[in-house]
């Protein structure tokens, strides 16, 4: 169902790799709500992903950009405002990757070159994106910037590895940049802390199946899906949440505030 919440709004969506991606579902939802946008992803992901299909479906253009490259980001912001015909109202940062996780290095045996690369892609890139937008004066007043995160920033999940530290940094950047963006441009910045979701990035985490099933049993409302996350993101891009900023917002069916569920107790009472 569409509410026309984003009618006339323009933005950039980072991170749609395939139809499971949270960014993919969000792009579809933004389109349904009347928003227009430019899609972007790392040049390498363009070759692997199916982003052309999404662009066609949503009538959008694609501009490749490596989110760790200041040069790519400056160009992206310039081109996006040109293509869309004005300043931006929303930006979604839906990017994450840990080289240590990919290469099977445990947290206690990190290769620091990998750590730095993963931090740059997953966390510092959010600062770089916002700095590019800020310097170009590319955001409209009362615009909204959202990045995706996970609760491992607050509580330890051993196999989440160095991504936990990256997410903690990302959430801090949202608060710090949110201050300046709010004060000077009336733009809000938030992170959404999403349930485990079966996507390429999610399934890269060791033991993901156990992880997602456990969260399902622990959450009174069950896990939030990528589609649910798209819906929540739309509310944050809309004018209905103008004074929400510098927040880390849990979107997890209640998982983060549940000590234990009846199902989990029963499992251990067997």
Residue 209 CB-half CA count within 13 A: 0
Among 15, 35, 118, 143, binds ligand NAD (CB under 6 A): 15
The set of residues, in sequence order, having a beta carbon less than 8 Å from that of 50 and lying 6+ positions away, is 17, 18, 19
Q: Does 148 participate in binding ligand NAD (rule CB under 6 A)?
A: yes
Q: Does 161 bind ligand NAD (CB under 6 A)?
A: no
Q: In the set 176, 200, 225, 256, which binds ligand NAD (CB under 6 A)?
A: 200
CA–CA distance, 88 with 82 (Å, rounded to integer): 10
Site for ligand NAD in 201-230 (CB under 6 A): 201-202
Among the residue ranges 106-114, 132-140, 199-207, 237-245, the one whose residues contact ligand NAD (CB under 6 A) = 199-207
Binding of ligand NAD by 35 (CB under 6 A) = no
- Toward ligand NAD, which CB reaches closer, 98 or 140? 98
Asked if residue 121 binds ligand NAD (CB under 6 A), the reply is yes
Token pair of 252 as six digits: 């997890």
**Strands (DSSP E) found in the chain:** 10-14, 36-40, 61-62, 88-93, 139-149, 188-194, 247-251
User: Which of 5, 95, 173, 215 forms a contact with ligand NAD (CB under 6 A)?
Assistant: 95
Please state the closest distance from residue 67 (CB atom) to ligand NAD, in A. 3
Q: How are beta strands 139-149 and 36-40 bridged, if at all? A: unpaired
d(CA 81, CA 101): 36
Identified binder of ligand NAD from the candidate list 134, 150, 157, 255, rule CB under 6 A: 150
3-state secondary structure of 26: helix
- Which parts of 177-196 interact with ligand NAD (CB under 6 A)? 194, 196
Specify the residue, 63 or 140, whose C-beta has the smaller distance to ligand NAD.
Answer: 63
CA distance 57 to 210: 34
Mutual orientation of helices 70-84 and 125-136 as an angle, nearest 10°?
Answer: 50
Size of residue set near ligand NAD by CB under 6 A: 27
Point out which residues bind ligand NAD (CB under 6 A): 14-15, 17, 21-23, 41-42, 45, 66-68, 94-97, 121, 148-150, 194, 196-197, 199-202
């Amino acid at each position: 169902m569409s509410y026309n919440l984003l009618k006339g709004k323009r933005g950039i969506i980072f991170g749609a790799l395939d139809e499971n991606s949270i960014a993919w579902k969000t792009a579809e939802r933004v389109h349904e709500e009347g928003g227009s946008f430019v899609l972007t992803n790392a040049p390498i992901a363009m070759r692997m992903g199916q982003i052309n299909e999404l662009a066609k479906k949503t009538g959008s253009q694609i501009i490749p950009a490596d989110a760790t490259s200041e040069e790519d980001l400056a160009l992206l912001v310039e081109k996006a405002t040109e293509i869309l015909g004005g300043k931006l109202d929303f930006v979604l940062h839906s990017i994450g990757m840990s080289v240590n996780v990919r290469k099977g290095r445990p947290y206690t045996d990190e290769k620091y070159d990998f750590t730095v690369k993963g931090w740059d892609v997953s966390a510092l890139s959010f600062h770089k994106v916002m700095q590019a937008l800020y310097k170009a004066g590319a955001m409209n007043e009362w615009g909204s910037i959202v990045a995706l995160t996970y609760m491992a920033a607050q509580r330890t999940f051993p196999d989440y590895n160095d991504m936990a530290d990256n997410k903690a940094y990302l959430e801090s950047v949202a608060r710090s940049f949110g201050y300046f963006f709010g004060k000077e441009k009336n733009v809000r910045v938030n992170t959404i802390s999403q349930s485990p979701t079966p996507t390429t990035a999610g399934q890269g985490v060791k033991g993901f199946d156990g992880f997602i099933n456990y969260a399902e049993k622990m959450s009174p409302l069950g896990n939030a899906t990528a589609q649910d996350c798209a819906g929540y993101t739309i509310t944050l891009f809309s004018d209905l949440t103008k004074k929400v900023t510098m927040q880390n917002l849990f979107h997890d069916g209640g998982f983060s505030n549940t000590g234990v569920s009846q199902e989990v107790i029963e499992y251990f009472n067997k």
